[in-house]
Amino acid sequence: MNKVLIITNHSYMLYQFRRELIQELRKEHEVVLSMPFVGHEDDFQAMGIRCIETNVDRRGINPKTDLKLLKNYFRLLKEEKPDLVITYSIKPNVYAGYACSRLGIPYYANVQGLGTAFQKPGLAQFVTLLYKTAFRKVEAVFFENEVNAEEFRKRKITSAEKQRILHGAGVNLEYYSQQPYSAENSEGRPVHFLYLGRIMKEKGIDELFSAVKRLRKDNHFVLDLVGFFEDEYKQQVEEMQKDGVVMFYGFQQDPRPYYTAADCIVLPSYHEGMSNVLLEAAATGRAVITSDIPGCREALEDGKTGLLCKAGDTDSLYGAMKRFLEMSSGQRAEMGIAGRKKMEKEFDKQMVVRQTMETLGCWDNDNEV
């Protein structure tokens, strides 16, 4: 039995989107997790997994805290002596990856999106240098869309031979089961748009709020908001809720009831790796409206399972939402059904787990995920 060490920057997100992979790894290997404890660490421990709390400053680059993190990773790797390391997110990828390369430990990295790191020229050059140094001896790098992988090839960070493209984290089709439109989703009831995620500028919230205010003049609908909001949006959310434009539910541990109650999920992001929200919504059998960008466009077929709009363009988002409002409930339901079929064909979590395990060299043909 080999020891697999998984290093990430967020215990909650790891559990939400990678627990099936971890469960599969545990069948044949000892699995140890290194991460900040921000939720679900008790669930991992209940699975019999040893968890090591490791603080990671997720905001920006700070030489002092980042150097401390690098030293912590060196110490962790020397103490644990893993046979294989898997990293998620930029700082574990860069700092734990570099430590693995220096210590001769095989490691696999996951790039879950580029964020803003490559959008600012000075920062992009620095981050490129970090990645090149860290990935010099990487076994393979998993990407969630082809455009991100191409960016790494263009910057000569990784070769095509070391790249693997996954359909995001995939979606658990049993957990996010298809939900039919009920009587509450029929004619005469206001259409419910749902935004689920952090209420922040980079998710296209400014454009969403502007489009909603314009649409409200001539249309009867509700925008449900589920998630945390950043301070700059607090007053605006409260005012829109007071005016009856939105219903704000805060963060919810289980998003499934909100997907079920929605007619359409809206995500006008500026950038994504592969949006889990879109996969979960489509698996539930709901239409989606999202930006025509990598990490979003792959999750739908424009006009069939949802509608695309231009990122950062209020008029384009307004047009897509208006087009959806003009559809019959039957047409909306058909979009959702088609979206579910697309998830079953392309984004099944079991397929993603199997592809990952095969790359890691951990897959046995007798295994069943």
**pLDDT for position 18:** 95
Q: For residue 231, how far is the Cα from the chain centroid?
A: 22
Question: How many Å apart are CA 34 and CA 79, to the nearest integer?
Answer: 12
Q: What are phi and psi of 70, to 5 degrees?
A: -60, -45
**pLDDT for position 365:** 46
Mean pLDDT, residues 170-185: 84
**pLDDT for position 230:** 76
pLDDT in tens, 7-16: 999 999 999 9
Q: Is the pLDDT of residue 297 over 70?
A: yes
Q: Per the structure block, which two tokens stand in for 187? A: 């004619």
Q: Classify each residue of 225-253 as buried b or exposed e, where b means 16 or more C-beta atoms within 10 Å of its C-beta.
A: bbbebeeebeeebeebeeeebbeeeeeee
**pLDDT for position 187:** 58
Start-end of CATH 3.40.50.2000 domains in the chain? 3-170+348-360, 183-346
Q: Is the pLDDT of residue 369 over 70?
A: no
CATH homologous superfamily, domain 183-346: Glycogen Phosphorylase B; (3.40.50.2000)
Q: Annotate 191-232 with DSSP letters as a single string.
A: EEEEEES-BSGGGTHHHHHHHHHHHTTT--EEEEEES-B-GG
What angle is formed at CA 285 by the lines to CA 280 and CA 291, rounded to 5 degrees? 60
**pLDDT for position 229:** 81
Question: How many Å apart are CA 88 and CA 107, to the nearest integer?
Answer: 11
pLDDT in tens, 310-333: 999 999 999 999 999 999 989 999
pLDDT in tens, 345-357: 999 999 999 999 9
pTM to 2 decimal places: 0.89
Q: Return the residue matching tokens 């990935």.
A: 135
Mean pLDDT, residues 186-197: 84
* Sign, CA torsion 191/195/199/202: negative
Q: Classify each residue of 272-286 as buried b or exposed e, where b means 16 or more C-beta atoms within 10 Å of its C-beta.
A: bbbbbbbbbbbbbbb
CATH topology of domain 3-170+348-360: Rossmann fold (3.40.50)
pLDDT in tens, 273-295: 899 999 999 999 999 999 999 99
